[in-house]
Structures are given as C-alpha cells and as structure tokens.
Homo-oligomer: A and B are copies of this chain.
Amino acid sequence: METTSPLAVALISGGLDSMVAAASMKAAGYRLLALSIDYNQRHQIELAAARRIAGVLGAERHVVLPLDLRAFGGSALTAEIDVPKSGVGSDIPVTYVPARNTIFLSLSLGWAEAAGARDLVIGVNALDYSGYPDCRPEFVAAFEDMAALATKAGVEGDRFRIHAPLQHMTKADIVREGTRLGLDLGMSWSCYDPAPGGVHCGLCDSCRLRAKGFEEAGIPDPTRYAG
C-alpha cells in the first residue's frame, strides 16, 4: 500500500545531515517530496549532490527552487566574504545566512500544504554544528507553533510536524545512523568552498565537522579532501 503512506517534504541540501534526516523519514514509512533551494550560494556543487540523493531516496518529486539570496547579502555563503578556514569557533560564524532555515522551512510549509502533506523534515542538529541559531530545538518548536496559525490546514485543526531527527545527535551519531540505513554517504557534499578538482577543502567548518564525524564514528571517510 505504498501509495497510502504519508507524504513528507524533505529539505535536501546535498549535505550529509539532510541526506540522513530524509533517509530516516523514508525508513519510518514516509514518501518523500524533496526540496532544494538554489540560493546562489558558492557551493553549487551541493545541488548536484542533492539531485543524486533525491534519486537514491526515491523521492516522488524533487523541486530545485531558484531563490537569489544574494539580493540581501549578509553572509559568506551569499556575498563576497571569505569562508573562514581556521577552525570551528564559539561565535556564530560569517557563514550564517540570515533567516535561512526560516525561509527554507516556510517554503517547505507552502509545498506541504499545497500537496496535502503534514510532515516536514530538516537535518538540523545542535551538537556538532556551527552555532547557527536556526538549528536549535527551540527554533524548530517555535516554527511549528507559528505554522499552526499560518495555514488553512492549521486553522482547520491539522498540525504540521517539523521533524528534526538529528537534533540531538553528534556528527559521529549521524555518520553511524547513515551507515545503519545503508546510505552511500560519499554521495553527499559538505564543503563551503570546494578546492580545485571539485574536492572538499578539508579546512572550512563544514569539512572539519564532517571529517571529525567519520573519525569519531570509526567509519572510513569516503570523502576526498584537498591537500
């Protein structure tokens, strides 16, 4: 009865976390609508990974939505600001994109309501992360409360659920979970600033967290890093 299983809108960035989060929803019996936002970030290579991931997860549909956040600027990922390479710090870094997850969840919510889905999934986690405010459980909960008031379905008594299955996982936990789910994690892309030859730079926060995850999980890292 595959056609009667519920639909979930899954944000797929092309990265490791969103891949594992979407796969865990699929493993829980959901059919997936995959959403990727082409926000003209520097790492367009992520979108190629997102397409491959949506394919292997058997998404019913994959929308890659162009959205030019360079019009607003304010981040190393959307403006001409250098991506830091000196290690993960304790402040919110310049790679923070203002309101990114709010924007992405809003778009997911719009598609979910239009498609009759009540479940959204996002790969945020608040342990081995870059300190972005919109990755924290209190943000996810507040978004869910807002969604109940924002929508026709909410007014009519339905509840949209924002699933963040990795919320309390370390990066090592995520690597282990992806492996348990049988995923080829090498298919995902994490680097903010790809090195020549289209390989991970190995130095940006995102590469550092990825490499640390495989290492701490004791699972061979399939990623090709520069240098």
Interface residues of A (CB under 8 A from B): 63, 65-69, 71-75, 92, 96-103, 105-107, 109-115, 133-134, 136, 138-139, 142-143, 145-152, 154-155
Complex contacts, A92 vs chain B, CB 8 Å: 152, 155
Interface of A is mostly: helix
| Min CB–CB distance A144 → chain B (angstroms) | 9
**Contacts A106-B106, A110-B100 given; does A145 touch B142 at CB 8 Å:** yes
Copies of this chain present in the complex amount to: 2
**Contacts A69-B110, A72-B114 given; does A150 touch B63 at CB 8 Å:** no
Is B136 touching A142 in the complex (CB atoms < 8 A)? no
Identify which of B67, B97, B139, B151 contacts A134 (C-beta below 8 A): B151
Docked pose: A183 CA to B171 CA in angstroms: 56
Is A65 touching B74 in the complex (CB atoms < 8 A)? no
Docked pose: A73 CA to B110 CA in angstroms: 9
Complex contacts, A100 vs chain B, CB 8 Å: 110
Is A98 touching B114 in the complex (CB atoms < 8 A)? yes
The 4 closest A-B pairs by CB, nearest first: A74-B114, A98-B113, A99-B110, A142-B146
Is B101 touching A150 in the complex (CB atoms < 8 A)? yes
Identify which of B68, B115, B146, B155 contacts A146 (C-beta below 8 A): B146
- Give 7 CB contacts A-B under 8 Å: A73-B114, A74-B114, A75-B114, A96-B152, A99-B106, A133-B150, A133-B151
Is B138 touching A149 in the complex (CB atoms < 8 A)? yes
**Contacts A106-B99, A110-B72 given; does A149 touch B139 at CB 8 Å:** yes
Complex contacts, A65 vs chain B, CB 8 Å: 67-68, 71
| Min CB–CB distance A9 → chain B (angstroms) | 9
